[in-house]
Amino acid sequence: MIVGLDFDNTIVSYDALFQQMAIEEKLVPNSIPPTKTAIRDYLRHIGKENFWTELQSRAYGPFLKRAIPFPGVFEFLSHCRKADISIYVVSHKTQFPYQGTQYNLHESALEWMFQQGFMCQEKYGLSEDRVFFEPTATGKCYRIRSLKCDVFLDDLPEFLLSVEFPSSVHRVLFDPHQRTSSFQGLARVGSWREFLQCMLSEWSNRCVTTA
């Protein structure tokens, strides 16, 4: 079985990082909820969209080293390694931000994966040649198709439901904050542990039988 994983807000959790950065820079009140959307909505509401843009550039760039992985990611990868399940990371990420300071976002993301210990082939089955950063959503869909993923996990329902997304791939929505209502055709998990449990049961059977 081949499993594809999104990177931003699926492997990396940015919520605490955005809250820390925004409070440190006195852009938001200390009482702001620790979520990325709360920070974004607040800055938009007070007419500081440009601050949000710059904050994102730094969070995905030089400040990424302060971000943490979602709980359960390493256990998931370790299980896949033992079960001989192939893992790829496929991310929609431009090399440089559309606006603001031109940090190299691909470099930052790869450095973070090394720094966090993901790139350990023996333990997690991951290496640099299994990580793809695609500048467009179309490119990401193409990559998922060409890698022949059986399952893909992503936090964006609009991406999973896009017409370009390969129809043969089982789509799973990663929704740790339970933000989205149900979407037809999407399985939904609230954590990596739940994703692993689901894979061990119905999806593994489904993927084995369709392989």
- Note the residues at the interface with Mg ion (CB under 5 A): 6, 8-10, 155
Residue 19: partners with Cβ closer than 8 Å, 6 or more residues away: 28, 32, 33, 34, 35, 38, 39
Q: Which residue has the tokens 């061990």?
A: 200
Give me the least distance between CB of 70 and Mg ion, in Å please.
11
Give me the least distance between CB of 157 and Mg ion, in Å please.
11
Nearer to Mg ion, 121 or 132 (CB): 132
Nearer to Mg ion, 116 or 204 (CB): 116
Closest CA to 160 of 184, 133, 177: 184
Nearer to Mg ion, 6 or 150 (CB): 6
Closest CA to 156 of 140, 135, 145, 142: 140
User: Would you state the structure tokens that stand for residue 41, as one six-digit string?
Assistant: 């909505």
Give me the least distance between CB of 6 and Mg ion, in Å please.
4
Give me the least distance between CB of 162 and Mg ion, in Å please.
13
Nearer to Mg ion, 10 or 19 (CB): 10
Helix (H, G, I), strand (E, B) or coil at 190: coil
